[in-house]
Amino acid sequence: MNDSFEAHFHRRAELRSSAGGRVNLLGEHTDYHEGFVFPAAIDLRTVALAAPRGDRRVRIRSENVGDTLEVSLDDLAPWEEVTWRSYVAGPLWALEREGHGLRGADVLLTSNVPFGGGLSSSASVQVCLVGAAAAWSGVSLSAQEVARIARKAENWFCHVPCGVMDQMASACGRADHAILLDCRSMAMEAVPVPASVAIVVADSGVRHALAGSEYEKRQAECASGMRKLRARHPGLKAARDLTMDVLEAERALLTDVEYRRLRHVVTEDDRVIEARKAFSEGDVAGAGRLLWGSHRSLAGDYEVSCAELDLLVEIAAGVRGVLGARLTGAGFGGNTVNLVEAARASDVAADLVERYAARTGRRTAATVVRPSAGVEVTRL
């Protein structure tokens, strides 16, 4: 990559930043309800090489897109149309908005996180670039700060109303650990992933365009249910504060859709807490059962699955060595996450690909991923 940087910019790179994609083990569609999530950064990563300039111009070459963005830091404002440029300019804009005066730079960017696959390719780009731009401008930020600023870029520059999970996982991951995150207090605990298990992500090959609009619709459905419940229970700040007892007692106030959406949030939060306990006790079969339960809840109550993801989960249930599987990320396509016996990991990946191809005629990828470090910046 150093060679391509030199070929492109006719100078040497001075720093390297990298940030992982993420796989979420449990806690889906809970982050924007101030609930709990249990993701890990993975070893599919975005890498940037950079060298600061003496002016306020930034040139970012994307190896994946094969295009270069050239922009002045003085001209940054969110564009109406969101393209790859928004994802690479947003981090610079967000840093500047936070009052960090940046320097210009030449940047080469490359990523092996599959785009649109529910593994947070966009968060890894934004986290990687916030880390890089802070470093080339002499700004020192904690990993949490990097995540917060990267999310600001996604929310306001890319117009995506996402929660905080992806950026936190990408920035704050730790090798061989999953991150238990309380999305209200932002308290974080790194929980070792038992050595007897491995994680396989399996791509449905489906990229559903409706993911964005349905994501906002779920937020609205939950908000409308919460408004009704709050009239009777003013202490309910967010869906995270609900219990099954209150939800059952007040069921008559809610439409069936509102009830089911909120039931997912309550049961999913419980599953995260149970998963942490299962991991700590080495109960990997118990952890696996929580993944199956999560998928049922996401498909039935939250309705963010699709036929292809359901099929991949159904197939996984018949593959030897799979402890649990479910969709990961926002849903409507992308990848499933499979918790598998470590000794069977590569066989499971091969079996999933074969059987999915046999059922659908579609040959996609299944990959063993390792829980990895968060954002890492080094001087070259």
HEC secondary structure over 205-243: EEECCCHHHHHHHHHHHHHHHHHHHHHHCCCCCCHHHCC
Pairing of strands 36-52, 177-182: antiparallel
In sequence order, the β-bridge partners of residue 71 are 58
Name the burial class of residue 78, with classes exposed (0-12), middle (13-18) and buried (19+) by CB atoms within 10 angstroms of its CB. middle
Stretch binding ligand GLA (CB under 6 A), from 80-88, 160-168, 256-264, 341-349 = 160-168
- Per CB under 6 A, the list member of 5, 16, 25, 32 interacting with ligand GLA is 32
When asked if residue 298 is in the footprint of ligand GLA (CB under 6 A), the reply is: no
Q: How many residues bind ligand GLA (CB under 6 A)?
A: 10
Name the burial class of residue 136, with classes exposed (0-12), middle (13-18) and buried (19+) by CB atoms within 10 angstroms of its CB. buried
Give 194 or 371: the residue with its C-beta nearer to ligand GLA. 371
- Per CB under 6 A, the list member of 165, 202, 275, 348 interacting with ligand GLA is 165
In the window 329-368, what residues touch ligand GLA (CB under 6 A)? 329-330
Q: Is 166 a catalytic residue?
A: yes
Which ranges constitute the DSSP H helices of 281-344? 284-300, 307-317
- Per CB under 6 A, the list member of 34, 43, 166, 250 interacting with ligand GLA is 166
Asked if 302 and 260 touch (Cβ cutoff 8 Å), the reply is yes
When asked if residue 31 is in the footprint of ligand GLA (CB under 6 A), the reply is: yes
Q: Give the integer Cα–Cα distance in Å for 148 and 269.
A: 22
Stretch binding ligand GLA (CB under 6 A), from 77-85, 140-148, 162-170, 339-347 = 162-170
- Write down the least CB distance from residue 13 to ligand GLA, Å: 30
Q: Give the integer Cα–Cα distance in Å for 60 and 342.
A: 39
Give 149 or 162: the residue with its C-beta nearer to ligand GLA. 162
165 secondary structure, DSSP code? H
Q: What separation in angstroms does the CA of 72 have from each of 56, 77, 89, 103?
A: 6, 11, 10, 10
Pairing of strands 67-72, 57-62: antiparallel
- Write down the least CB distance from residue 234 to ligand GLA, Å: 26
When asked if residue 36 is in the footprint of ligand GLA (CB under 6 A), the reply is: no
Listing DSSP states for 231-293 in one string gives HH-TT--SGGG--HHHHHHTGGGS-HHHHHHHHHHHHHHHHHHHHHHHHHTT-HHHHHHHHHH
Stretch binding ligand GLA (CB under 6 A), from 43-51, 157-165, 281-289, 360-368 = 157-165
When asked if residue 309 is in the footprint of ligand GLA (CB under 6 A), the reply is: no
When asked if residue 201 is in the footprint of ligand GLA (CB under 6 A), the reply is: no
Q: Give the integer Cα–Cα distance in Å for 166 and 41.
A: 9
When asked if residue 35 is in the footprint of ligand GLA (CB under 6 A), the reply is: no
- Per CB under 6 A, the list member of 28, 241, 269, 301 interacting with ligand GLA is 28
- Per CB under 6 A, the list member of 52, 90, 104, 163 interacting with ligand GLA is 163
When asked if residue 29 is in the footprint of ligand GLA (CB under 6 A), the reply is: yes
- Write down the least CB distance from residue 329 to ligand GLA, Å: 5
Residues that bind ligand GLA (CB under 6 A): 28-29, 31-32, 162-163, 165-166, 329-330
Residues with catalytic roles: 166
